[in-house]
Amino acid sequence: MPVDTGMVDDIDLLLARFEQEIAWFIETRDRLLPALETLDAALAAHVAVPSPGSAAAVRAARVVYVRAIAGIEPTLREWVAISGSSDLLWEAEPAMSDAQAARFEALLARELAASWDRERFDVLLDAVRRGLLVFEESTG
């Protein structure tokens, strides 16, 4: 049976997109995590001992965090545009060549390694979002 070169090219494109998704997550995490950790600590300190000084520290940390997000906004947009490649690759797995299957397995292993950090990142991001809402409500 002849190989459908269009399908092979599509799988290669999906593999490249999946690889880029992983790289963009790692870049996003690495660039936002320090600002998130600082903001989370400032929020916790303010909750523990609310004061004008602790509120000022939260505001300063929030500015750094917002600037960090602005600095990676194009990456975030691109990441969202290609997200979901792994789901499509799972569907295409039966049609993969041995080389494509090996590349997919290697990417899955890389994604798994990054997923441990991703859970921590997602939990911290959620805590900061909730903390900022409470902070904004309490400080007007």
pLDDT 10s digits, 36-74: 999 999 999 999 999 999 999 999 999 999 999 999 998
Q: CA-CA distance, 25 to 99, in Å (whole number)?
A: 24
Percent helix, strand and coil across the chain, each to the nearest 5? 90, 0, 10
CA distances (Å), origin 67, targets 10, 12, 61, 63: 37, 35, 10, 6
Please state, as a whole number, how many other Cβ atoms lie within 10 Å of the Cβ of residue 100: 18
pLDDT higher than threshold 60 for residue 16? yes
What does pLDDT average to over the chain? 89
Q: Give the whole-angstrom CA distance, residue 35 versus residue 64.
A: 6
Q: Which of 1-5, 100-104, 110-114 has the lowest mean pLDDT?
A: 1-5
- What sign does the dihedral 95-99-100-104 (CA atoms) show? positive
Half-sphere exposure (CA, 13 Å, Cβ side) for 49?
A: 4
Q: What sign does the CA torsion over 129, 81, 101, 1 have? A: positive
- Identify which has the larger pLDDT, 120 or 130: 130
- 5: pLDDT confidence band, cut at 50, 70 and 90? very low
Residue 75 has pLDDT above 50, yes or no: yes
